[in-house]
Structure 1
Amino acid sequence: MLHGAGGKYMLQFIHKYILKYFGDLGRDIDVPLLLLEDSAIVNGIAFTTDSYTVHPLFFPGGDIGRMAVCGTVNDLAVKGATKILGISCGLIIEEGLELSDVERVLSSMRAAAIEAETSIVTGDTKVVEKGRADKLLINCSGIGVPEEELTSNYETIKRSRSENTSMWLITKNIRPGDRLIINGPIGDHAVAILTARGELGFESDVKSDNAPLNKLMRKALEVGGVTCAKDPTRGGLAGLLNEWAENTGLGFVIREDSIPMSPAARAASELLGIDMLEVGNEGKVVMCVLNDKAEEVLESIKRSGWEQASIIGYVTDSFKGVILETTIGGKRIIPPPIGDPVPRIC
């Protein structure tokens, strides 16, 4: 399970096996597999794929269908492809699954696609024997293109930096001095899944935060100064920042009192011993933003409906890694997570 949980074992697996066979292919495309970004960029078109194995299928605030569409949209949007041209839908259905459940999932996918201003344009369906799959698994792929906001964002960055950067919101653009912004509380999706499984240990009305982020990204890019972005899914905030640190050689400092978290997520963290920095999130994005544009980008995000968005830290070249400044004035090294402490939440 650890090899698919978003932590260091999954990264080791990807480097040792996936990149071994595929990493040298397509090196001449805009953003190749070798860079391990959320989407590849081929001839100016962003392309991504993802598989969804969440258990249970339905949970407070969402279901596997909504998550599949939103997750695909977000992997494109955080790289700057905010216009989603189309999404595929591949279903692997276990024999015996109620057709009413299938219909409920498909209806949810339709609603999420409309919300993201896109369409499900192709797909595939397979049925396997009872006991050979856990009710329903979904794979989605998507393609997207940039809009004028990404171009204007790039112009803003070029006015502040003389060195070469990419128009796309990829890791190599990150520089010391960039501020870190997250659009809302971490941990809510994990709490919603634990509630649905009956594993939380207390009553909670927290709902999953899964949502399409292409409209939010469009608003942030309109302000300008966004250098890189990524959604903290498997491996959570800790996994995302350690990935950035490893790939840039830079340090990422985050402040504990600036990281938004709901009371239920804090309670679950204390009761179950779960580090919410390591759990996967849906509907969240972490952005690196030019220092002099960070407050303006933050206000734009808040006006877009994400009132709990926060500047949570900054990038430095004084060390390599991730450090948390605690509420009591100490500092704690945040290592790469081994895996997601709440498995199968995406």
Structure 2
Amino acid sequence: ATFVQTFLNFTSSTLSAAFIVIPFAMHSLGLPVTVTLFLVLGALNYYTLTSVVVIAEDFRKHSYEEVAELAFGRIGFLVAWTTELLFGLCAAVVNIFVASTLIAHFLHRVTGGSHSWAISRGVVAVWVALPGLAFSLYQHPRRFSLAMGSAIVATVVFALCLFLLWAVKPTRMPSMRCWILPHGLNSSLKFGVVLLYCFVAHHKCFWNFRSMRLRSKERWSLVCRYAIGCTILLYLLISAVGMLCLPQTKEEQDDRDFLFCRDSYLGSHGLRVAAFLGLAAFLVLISPTDVSALRLLVTRMLARNIARLSDLDDRSEFGDETQSAGSPRVGYHPANLGEGQSWAPGEQLP
């Protein structure tokens, strides 16, 4: 669950960091209006949750439901629940839709323009959703191995199903819209998967938002977030270079043209996409969640140092009270130096 929350946090912070250039970049990337609205809602909900978490830290509350109740009264729990639900839904849609499209585009380029159904966006979306569902089913850190095993089992089962389908019907499907099912049933299944992902994320995934104190697992979460962030940013850079440098081919006007390198990308749209990725890569490193967590770390470090210096001041009061002009300032009395260290008047202290 920590991994899922970290991945969703990073993705949402990336998208919310790129919120400024959405009107310029979304049309160039070919995103429909619905997905753009999901991006906007995800960005707003991300900043709302982050702000409420920081406020809860200042008020020393244990959950953002309590802060919402203080702000909105009896309907505070409804506001908090709606915010969680929208954040989970937006994160699920954005992760499944955008990540599966990017990976499918990358596989399409790597395989030399192959249109096999095995690398279609729908199949890749299932690959993206299965580990997330398995991880989000277990919220306790001690169950991480169980979640990892469930994710591996689900992925292996899905791979076996794909292999059986390929063995029975080794044909290539011409359109990436098809998920091996009719379009109506396909849309219903996709909607059901998104709702299931959102439900599980709402109840299991965001549990560590409720802990307001930065413990060791939150520090590891920051480390994992930056590691995942660097990996994804590296992948985006490689994809951007591939989109701008690889030879262009004519594609059908369907989902295969989504995020593909068109002729206009080499013109003004290429600059917009580069600015979009650059701004996202720059601002994601200073996302509000990271700033609030790092603020807690720095505050605690300063508190420890201030306590240690005040302790030195207290001890120095019982030392040499008559200090000359060349003697060290209070708190750095020679009696407080470690063993083997010496100090002479006029000499700069280490």
Asked if these proteins are the same fold (TM beyond 0.5), I'd say no
* More helix by percentage: 2
TM-score norm. by structure 2 comes to: 0.29
- Structure with the greater alpha carbon radius of gyration: 2
TM-score norm. by structure 1 comes to: 0.29
